[in-house]
Amino acid sequence: MGGKLDCAIAKAERECQSQELAGEVYVRERRALDEQIPTVWAKFKAAIQWKCAAKPNHLRFMVCPDIEAKVERLNHSSHRVLEMQLLRESGIVEFRCGEAEGCCTIRLNRQNIAGVCDQDGRAFSSLGDAADEVLSLLFS
């Protein structure tokens, strides 16, 4: 009987250690993400601003507070504005353009480097690609 009890105790201890380790990993990953979110957001906004500067007859990037970005479509019969906002605590970038709404997320990859992902969690290959995807709402 002592054998079964010893096995049960050992199993419970392993499960407890496993849960503690998972908790520690989560805390480290969350801390890494929290540290990187402002930098990734700033680079994402810069990519959007650069795309707008490359098309000055079509797009205008508007200066906004740190957690927001706005882009206006120029020379179009209907006034269209893309509005974006970073929800820093969750790493979500919400965007809205007319009736269209969506979001991107800032997530860690396997190397614990943060990047922008689509709303399904797939990483964009570059910030330029992420910017193109979001800016395309102004033309749909």
Tokens of 108: 């860690």
Look at residue 117 in the predicted model and tell me its pLDDT: 96
In Å, how far are 25, 60, 74, 95, 125 from 115, measured between CA atoms? 19, 25, 29, 17, 9
Amino acid (1-letter code) at residue 72: E
Residue 64 confidence class, pLDDT cut points 50, 70, 90: confident
Q: Who has greater pLDDT, 12 or 67? A: 67
Look at residue 47 in the predicted model and tell me its pLDDT: 97
Residue 51 confidence class, pLDDT cut points 50, 70, 90: very high
pLDDT, tens digit, 9 for 90 and up, residues 75-123: 777 779 999 999 999 999 999 998 889 999 999 998 989 999 998 989 9
Nearest CA to 97 among 122, 76, 126, 117? 76
Tokens of 80: 């269209």
Q: Has this prediction a pTM greater than 0.85?
A: no
Name the percent of the chain lying above pLDDT 90: 64
Angle at 90 between CA 85 and CA 93, to 5 degrees: 25
Look at residue 48 in the predicted model and tell me its pLDDT: 97
Look at residue 22 in the predicted model and tell me its pLDDT: 65
Report yes or no: 87 and 64 within 8 Å, Cβ to Cβ. Answer: no
Residue 18 confidence class, pLDDT cut points 50, 70, 90: low
Tokens of 92: 């979500």
